[in-house]
Amino acid sequence: MDIKLSLIENKDLKKFKFDMQEAFQKGYEDEFGRTCFEILPEKDINESLETNDSIAYKAEIDGNLVGKAIIVVDKKLKRAHLDFLYVKCGYQDQGIGKNIWYELELLHPEVEVWETTITYFDKRNIHFYVNICGFNIYSYLNDEEEDGACAGDFCGGMFQLRKVIKR
């Protein structure tokens, strides 16, 4: 599978946000059923995109858009945070997420420590990050804590994950 990552252009941002929201909504609803609650508000995506040193990528296979990611890289500390990675609806279960992740690692060899945060309820993502990508869960934030347990408007608990790159 030949995945090509390239930077998101401003003209693609509207579609970028829509696809991401759709994928996160579907992930939640596949687990818990339909909801009128917006799982990933646009303001959360905007906050990530507006963070200093954030980089937004689109992933394509043979010119077809299959996923996207937003990372924040601190070159000085050799650390990065994976804010979002998703596979577009209709392309799941084909190894695309894994290949997007591997490409991100290859594009950023300067990063020695990767971190991300995921919702407690998403067993599929827990499996993906821990068993496929090699992250370790190092903290659980419940919605009683004050230090970021809510992802935007979603509260209910978050896992913090870390991957140390051994070279």
Find the Cα–Cα–Cα–Cα dihedral 157, 32, 27, 22, rounded to 10°. -110
**Pick the residue with more confidence: 37 or 127?**
127
Handedness of CA 89, 93, 99, 105 (dihedral sign): positive
Which pLDDT belongs to residue 152? 44
Mean pLDDT of all residues in the chain?
87
Number of Cβ atoms within 10 Å of the Cβ of 150 = 14
pLDDT in tens, 45-86: 999 999 999 999 999 999 999 999 999 999 999 999 999 998
- Each domain of the chain, given as residue ranges in start order, spans 4-164
Which pLDDT belongs to residue 158? 85
Above pLDDT 90, what percent of the chain? 55
- As a whole number, mean pLDDT of residues 19-44 equals 85
Which pLDDT belongs to residue 149? 42
Which run of H or E residues covers position 44?
helix 42-50
Which pLDDT belongs to residue 150? 46
User: pLDDT category, 143, cuts 50, 70, 90?
Assistant: low
Domain 4-164 CATH class label: alpha beta
